[in-house]
Amino acid sequence: METISENRCFDGTQGVHKHPSDACNCDMTFGLFLPQEAQFTKVPLLWYLSGLTCTHENAMTKAGAQVWAAEQGIGLIFPDTSPRGEDVANDDAYDLGKGAGFYVNATQDPWAPHFQMYDYIADELPALVAKNFSIDMDRQGITGHSMGGHGALTLAMTRPGQFQSVSAFAPICHPTNSDWGKKQLGAYLGEDTSNWAAHDSTLLMKDRGFDGPILIDTGTDDQFGDLLGTEHLAAAIAERRQNAQIRLQPGYDHSYFFVSTFIEDHVAFHAQALYE
């Protein structure tokens, strides 16, 4: 693993690191914020999965999460959203290929050789972090924005016991029923829609739910609201009587201005679960 940069940040350290990934068959980059407590003890970890077109850098520099993580004494990890490199397949559209991994393991060409983002986030990167940093891997929460909110919810529900809490900002809630989902799941996983269900939080909520608390914020003026399917997940949560909050925030859109407004609430939400 190569450390690209380290900066002092709210008495902790914001690092950027690169490593060869076996899962994605290329070099991968991630950001990791460690609060000052990590100098003395292992700290809980909150995963932040970013949305379409993002790299590790967007949320790291725009969400304003480090100040609240430092206050709560938890680490923050910002993975990339897809594999990168000259030999990695791509598409001219912004919502497929690089920057649009959708946190699935692709089975179809030309995506399968590199786009194994589910395994990367669920297994490979946690093992790397546990080996190299002062992180308590028994205390993990996960959050994300848009495509990353989709990833956070689906990973939490398909990896029971790995995450103690999950939250999301404007997540894609029902991708098997949305243009933000049908296109990508078809490309990465093939046309057999039975293979898509494990990556749809509405269907997963109906099937199994989550053994922990859930917090979701979505803006009422989200310009992509029709693609998110929030109402479908809300109905599934109500039917299952899942421990969850869905908050519709008046006047907010899909931007990082929205994320940065409510990131304090989300970090505090996870800290409460991780320090129980």
Give the angle 120-125-127 at the CA atoms, nearest 5°.
120
**Cα–Cα distances in Å, from 118 out to 107, 124, 216, 241?**
12, 9, 21, 27
Residue 95 appears among annotated catalytic residues: no
Give which of 260, 145, 153 is closest to 214, Cα–Cα: 153
Give the angle 264-266-271 at the CA atoms, nearest 5°.
95
Amino acid identity at 41: T
Q: Which of 82, 146, 167, 178 is catalytic?
A: 146
Task: Locate all alpha helices (DSSP H) within 75-119, ordered by sequence.
Answer: 117-119
Helix (H, G, I), strand (E, B) or coil at 47: strand
| Count of beta carbons in the 10 Å neighbourhood of residue 8 | 9
Q: Which of 199, 222, 232, 266 is catalytic?
A: 222
Amino acid identity at 271: A
Residue 222 appears among annotated catalytic residues: yes
Q: Which of 199, 254, 266, 270 is catalytic?
A: 254
CA distance 174 to 182: 10
Query: Which phi and psi (to 5°) does residue 133 adopt?
Result: -135, 165
Give every strand in the sheet of 135-144, ordered side by side: 2-9, 12-21, 26-34, 75-79, 43-49, 135-144, 165-169, 214-219, 244-249
Amino acid identity at 235: A
Residue 148: how many CA atoms within 13 Å on its side-chain side?
Answer: 29
Is residue 46 within 8 A of residue 141, CB to CB? The reply is yes
So which residues are the catalytic ones?
Answer: 146, 222, 254
